[in-house]
Amino acid sequence: MEAVSADEWSRFLTEELAEGCVPRVWEEGTGEMDQALASLLLVKLFRMDRFVPAAERFVGRVFGSDMFERVEELGETVGQVSATLPVALVSSAGFDASYKVDRLVERTGRRCTNIAMGSDEGVASADKAISSAAQTGSWVLVKNVHLAPTWLQSLEKRMEALSPAGEFRLFLSMEASPRIPVNLIRASRVLMYEQPAGVRANMRDSMSTLAARAGRAPVERARLYLLLSFLHAVAQERLRYAPSLGWKGFWEFNDSDYECSAFIVDTWLDAAAGQRSNIAPGKIPWEMVRYLVRETYGGKIDDEGDLELLGRLVERVLTPAAYEAEHRLMGEVAVPSGTGVADLMAWIGRLPEREPPTYLGLPANAEKLLLVGLGRSLIADLGRVTELLDQGEQLVTEA
């Protein structure tokens, strides 16, 4: 530690991205993983505001840099499970993953019955749909099953008693909750979904869902999708700063808002372009697109100030000026020069993994307090998980 200069310590304590300039306090010959762990501990001790980014870097070093970019393909999972094994789509609060089943059904042409839980009618409808689909070999999607924990407790035995057709699949969408029976989780194929963290991950996820459609004429469609994807990412990422900075409320923006807005874009762009392969950006019906997108996302908001803020964001992002070179979407975010889907996806890939708050229209120092709170919460969660693992090992030993 004595070999580390005062300038190195000073830089570490003052640098904005401190996780990239941690003093090398370890001895020569220290293994790479031990170095990574020592760096993480130093950040925890001296720069709690950078602990979350440092933890992400550490996990990337241990498990591979592409770990956070791996996407579980639901279609592959469906092909791997048997008809008696439910597929549980578990998501964090405010994020509904059931749209992934809807998208798979649309892509494959499968017959699927959708049931929403939350009432006695939902329970009866789910039982009836499962019995019928098990005989015909179709699919059933039961949404919000965390609202029916009693029904879930009996579902495992029902599945064991069924003799379903080989093509039958049961999908259960739910929020993560302690009310979900542990035995059901063990007897299911569980896919965990969380809102992608950061503008880059959010845009990569949303743009990839429209990649097949983005190549359709007119060529201006792909960039319009990009603008919509950026707006969606900004709206969701600002929620991390709610209620003090980003939004005044924790509004439940989700992918269905994005899908609906993409449908709006397609409808009005097709009407304006007709059969032409190009359309002048000024000829796109911006006013109507902006109005309908604002209404789509605004339907989740019941605060007048936030509605006005949403309107300003929509006006700022969805504009014909975005087709001009070097146009700034927000802060220092300049639009890409390419027009093809590959060019736009490459531009998204070059965005920083964790964007500065200015990308969201927030002050540059907005993230520091947020990251300190997230870091402390992460350490507390890690402590609880470690405690549970220790209890489990003790039970195994005593058994």
DSSP secondary structure string for all residues of 347-386: HHHTS-SS--GGGGT--TTHHHHHHHHHHHHHHHHHHHHH
Position 224 scores a pLDDT of 95
Domain ranges of the chain: 1-70+365-399, 74-193, 199-363
pLDDT value at 295 more than 80: yes
pLDDT tier at 70 (50, 70, 90 boundaries)? low
CA distance 114 to 102: 9
Kindly indicate the confidence band of residue 195, based on its pLDDT and cuts at 50, 70 and 90.
Answer: confident
Structure tokens at 6: 């005062």
Give the pLDDT mean for 237-248. 87
Model pLDDT for residues 173-190, shown as the tens digit of each residue: 998 888 888 888 888 999
The torsion defined by the Cα of 116, 118, 122 and 127, in degrees rounded to 10, comes to 90
Does residue 16 have a pLDDT over 90?
Answer: no
The DSSP symbol for 197 reads P
In the prediction, which pLDDT does 146 show?
Answer: 92
Q: What's the pLDDT band for 136 if we cut at 50, 70, 90?
A: very high
Q: Please say whether the beta carbons of 120 and 203 come within 8 A.
A: no
pLDDT at residue 1 above 60?
Answer: no
Instruction: Give the DSSP H/E element, type plus range, for residue 273.
Output: helix 255-273
* Whole-prediction pTM: 0.66
Average pLDDT estimate for 373-378:
82
Check whether domain 199-363 has CATH 1.20.1250.20, yes or no: no
pLDDT at 285 (0 to 100): 97
pLDDT category at 367 given cuts 50, 70, 90 is confident
Whether 342 shows a pLDDT value over 80: the answer reads: yes
CATH code of the region 74-193:
3.40.50.300
pLDDT at 110 over 90: yes
Retrieve residue 373's tokens: 């709170």
Greatest mean pLDDT range, 193-197, 280-284, 382-386: 280-284
Domain 74-193 identical in fold to domain 199-363: no
Asked if 327 and 335 touch (Cβ cutoff 8 Å), the reply is: yes
| Of the candidates 61, 139, 66, 144, the residue with the CA atom closest to the CA atom of residue 98 | 144
User: What is the percent of the chain with per-residue pLDDT over 70, rounded to a whole number?
Assistant: 96
Q: How confident is the model at residue 235 (pLDDT cuts 50, 70, 90)?
A: very high
pLDDT at 171: 97
- Going from the C-alpha of 203 to that of each of 151, 200, 208, the distances in angstroms are 37, 5, 8
Q: What is the mean pLDDT of residues 45-74?
A: 81
- For residue 69, name the pLDDT band (cuts at 50, 70, 90): low
What rounded mean pLDDT belongs to the chain?
A: 89
CA 287 vs. chain centroid, Å, equals 29
Q: Are the beta carbons of 300 and 253 closer than 8 angstroms? A: yes
What is the structure's pLDDT at 174? 92
